[in-house]
């Protein structure tokens, strides 16, 4: 099995040599190494893919003794991770993830689809994925989120993926999944907020459609950005055609972001990401 060593530390001379020598001493084989230094904050980041077996807790402790006390060090393993997908009514992102999973392109266990509407249950069932409809009608947001949390606790996924889940989550809910919840939205935000952003963009004559995948934080749509992409358009597009193009971008961006997170390629620092 392959393993991933992730290090975030105040920068200092010789960090790469110190860490590499420890792995070598324990007869572990480094297969790929990536480093970056944030010059503004003097912060060092390193992601090392290695193979071999050893006492990983002892290795972590030994590495920490060679780094500044505020350093963060972890070792993750390439075992298959699990997700739960949250959705509402739009099917394009959910359908794309289910297809990628079915084809083996997305190496993850989809434990369930959870939604505040039942409309996408047939789509989930086509792929043999359990579907949980947690109705929000007639109850408070707090009561609905408590039902959601009970369901998610029983499923215990590594990550939550918001595939066009169209409800604002409370700070209490978000707190339960810090750095473990990924969202997708059109890049018109915050310029085009509210209903039908594609129609608003059409009326402004935009020339680029984009999408952004990010980690969910307490601040709406302002979490650390994982991946973005765009498609260029022109004046001949109707708002419906713009919406179609935008949905295509959303699917690609969400799938790419999820893949990066599943492979432990993301560091979060100062509300932004370092992506290896």
Instruction: Kindly list the catalytic residues.
Output: 221
* Rounded Cα gap, residues 186 and 248, in angstroms: 11
Question: Cα separations (Å) of 81 from 4, 141, 211, 238, 263?
Answer: 14, 29, 25, 40, 9
Angle at which helices 239-262 and 92-103 cross, to 10°: 40
CB of 34 closer than 8 Å to CB of 276: yes
Q: How many residues are listed for the chain in this entry? A: 276
CB of 165 closer than 8 Å to CB of 152: no
DSSP letters along 48-90, please? EEEE----HHHHHHHHHHTS-TT-EEEEEE-SPPEEEEEE-S-
Tell me whether strands 2-10 and 43-51 are parallel, antiparallel or unpaired. antiparallel
Tell me whether strands 208-215 and 225-232 are parallel, antiparallel or unpaired. antiparallel
* Rounded Cα gap, residues 43 and 39, in angstroms: 7
* C-alpha 25: how far from chain center: 34
* Rounded Cα gap, residues 7 and 21, in angstroms: 15
CB of 163 closer than 8 Å to CB of 254: yes
């Amino acid at each position: 099995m392959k393993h991933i060593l992730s290090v975030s530390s105040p920068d200092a001379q010789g960090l790469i040599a110190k860490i590499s020598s420890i792995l070598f001493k324990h007869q572990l084989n480094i297969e790929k190494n990536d480093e970056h230094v944030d010059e503004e904050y003097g912060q060092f980041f390193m992601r090392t893919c290695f193979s071999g077996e050893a006492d990983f807790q002892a290795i972590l402790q030994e590495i920490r003794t060679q780094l500044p006390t505020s350093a963060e060090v972890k070792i993750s393993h390439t075992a298959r991770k699990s997700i739960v997908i949250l959705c509402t009514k739009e099917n394009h992102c959910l359908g794309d993830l289910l297809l990628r999973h079915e084809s083996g392109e997305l190496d993850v266990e989809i434990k369930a689809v959870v939604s505040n509407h039942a409309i996408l249950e047939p789509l989930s069932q086509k792929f043999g994925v359990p579907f949980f409809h947690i109705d929000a009608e007639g109850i408070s947001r707090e009561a609905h989120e408590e039902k959601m949390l009970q369901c998610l606790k029983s499923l215990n996924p590594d990550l939550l993926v918001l595939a066009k889940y169209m409800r604002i989550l409370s700070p209490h809910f978000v707190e339960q999944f810090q750095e473990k919840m990924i969202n997708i939205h059109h890049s018109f935000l915050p310029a085009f907020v509210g209903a039908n952003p594609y129609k608003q963009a059409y009326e402004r004559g935009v020339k680029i459609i984009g999408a952004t995948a990010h980690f969910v934080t307490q601040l709406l749509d302002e979490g650390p950005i994982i991946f973005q992409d765009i498609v260029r358009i022109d004046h001949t597009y109707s708002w419906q055609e713009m919406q179609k193009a935008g949905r295509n971008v959303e699917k690609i961006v969400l799938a790419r972001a999820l893949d990066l997170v599943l492979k432990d390629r993301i560091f979060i620092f100062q509300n932004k990401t370092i992506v290896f």
